[in-house]
Amino acid sequence: MGKILVTGASGYIGGRLVPELLARGYKVKVMVRAYSPGYAELWPDAEIVAADALDLNQLTIALKDIDAAYYLIHSLRLGHKEFASADIKAAVNFRIAAETNKINRIIYLGGLGDTQSKLSPHLQSRIQVAEELKKGKVQVTVLRAAIIIGSGSASYEIIQHLVKRFPVILIPRWAKTKCQPIAIRDVVKYLVGVLETPATARESFDIGGKDILSYAEMLNIRADLLNKKRFFLPFFSYLPLYSYIGSLITPIPAPITRSLMEGLKNEVVCQNHTIRQYLPFEPLSYKEAIIRAMNREEQDRIHTRWSDAYPPAHVLALKLNELENGPRYMNTYFLYTTKEASSLFRCICRIGGKEGWFSNNWIWRLRGMVDKILLGVGAARGRKSRTNLRINDVIDYWRVEDLQKDIRLLLRAEMKLPGKAWMEFKIDDDGSKRRLAVIAHYQPQGFLGKVYWYTFLPCHQFLFNDLIMQIEKRSD
């Protein structure tokens, strides 16, 4: 077989599929919107191409010399008003670019849902994308899945947060609707399986796990596994409000909680089981999928997470070194220490997530909560791994822009701000001692941006000075 293109490779499912294809010896081209050296480091055997599906020219170049392409793109993060039109445009472009390049197959992972009933906008859009891709001459295989359970998946983390943190959970009426969750392991098996089974080209399959459950039952099983008694109270639900509250109390942003919750109003259960004729393996049950995800979390081995894909406006984020005349404002806080650069750096790389910011955590969290209220990403995103850090990883409301071992960690702010901000940790070694610095870089946007910088300056002074002191103290 020729080269395989994986779109949405920076996302949750694409990021799991790429290593599986590489391990099976396929030649893989990975398509991302924003190139970063982190991808080449992560998948040294893959070719990386940067292309936006909304740009036909870029897509046509990305699809050159491709035999089969996975379509794993959605635009949900653009929010309710924009995602459906963006998704259609991306699918039309993809169909045209695939035809121009005479590729052999497209494999698309979409959503389950009875096409005869009134579907949520997200599920409707997933079906429209399938229809659009199928209009061309290229053979399209459609896989349709309900919610996907795995370490780092959005659905898993919503369930996890609700059950872990709240003894009483408000259950809307529509939470009794049936759903057929599937484990991420099985999704990847089906994605690879259909590629390796030519008879599945031009077919559409429903894929699901062993169980058909309601949202309330899923919460209950999770609570049992945690040995926690939870009370479920029926609740009058106005969905936008319920999903907004959901986004405040879980790490998942509002556009995603809303589409997931809207989707729960529709029964999402496999209607055809023909996939079993081609790929007759036994999928995991919901409970098995949860246990596997819990194990991964405990072992700190989460490969991809819903937060890997960028929030809107940050996809093609300007890098600090791309600012023409450098940032307008910059403040440096530093100290000298005799501690080793390697121990200082190890400590720096542990910040955020469950470990917190070493002191004054409430201030960092309050900033995150304000961001969440403003429909930003918030601090609850935490981090994928407690110990490892790579370029592009998320740390609360930051994203790693640059990482140079024992020298520099550069974080780009993804919270709502009237400007662009970076926080840089820098270690300069001058033989007998080290200079440990935190540098705040800020490029204001308009008058409000300037007001923001000066208003928070005293707070930064206090926070950052304390932060470097804590890092120094904890570096052993």
Residue with Cβ nearer ligand NAP (74 or 441): 74
What's the half-sphere exposure (Cβ side, CA atoms, 13 Å) at 188?
20
286 binds ligand NAP (CB under 6 A): no
For 399, which DSSP code? E
Residue with Cβ nearer ligand NAP (12 or 442): 12
Residue with Cβ nearer ligand NAP (78 or 249): 78
Contact between 421 and 441 (Cβ < 8 Å): yes
Binding mask 1-40 toward ligand NAP (x if CB under 6 A, else -) reads ------xx-xxxxx-----------------xxx------
Binding mask 74-93 toward ligand NAP (x if CB under 6 A, else -) reads xx--------------x---
Other C-beta atoms closer than 10 Å to the C-beta of 337 total: 20
Distance in angstroms (rounded) separating the CA atoms of residues 95 and 99: 6
97 binds ligand NAP (CB under 6 A): no
147 binds ligand NAP (CB under 6 A): yes
145 binds ligand NAP (CB under 6 A): yes
For 279, which DSSP code? S
Q: Which of 61, 315, 363, 370 binds ligand NAP (CB under 6 A)?
A: 315
153 binds ligand NAP (CB under 6 A): yes
54 binds ligand NAP (CB under 6 A): yes
Output the DSSP codes for 311-367. Answer: PTT-TTPPPGGGSTT--SEEEEEEEEE-S-HHHHHHHHTT-BGGGBTSS-HHHHHHH
Which residue in 136, 111, 271 sits closest to 202, CA to CA? Answer: 136
Long-range contacts of 425-431 (CB under 8 A, 24+ apart): 425/348, 425/471, 427/341, 427/344, 427/345, 427/348, 429/341
Q: How far is the CB of 76 from ligand NAP (least distance, A)?
A: 7
Q: How far is the CB of 35 from ligand NAP (least distance, A)?
A: 10
**Among 69-77, 246-254, 404-412, 421-429, which window interacts with ligand NAP (CB under 6 A)?**
69-77
Q: Both tokens of residue 206?
A: 């429903």
Distance in angstroms (rounded) separating the CA atoms of residues 234 and 403: 48
310 binds ligand NAP (CB under 6 A): yes
Residue with Cβ nearer ligand NAP (147 or 415): 147
Q: How far is the CB of 250 from ligand NAP (least distance, A)?
A: 14
Note the residues at the interface with ligand NAP (CB under 6 A): 7-8, 10-14, 32-34, 52-54, 72-75, 90, 109-111, 126, 145, 147-148, 153, 155, 306, 309-310, 315
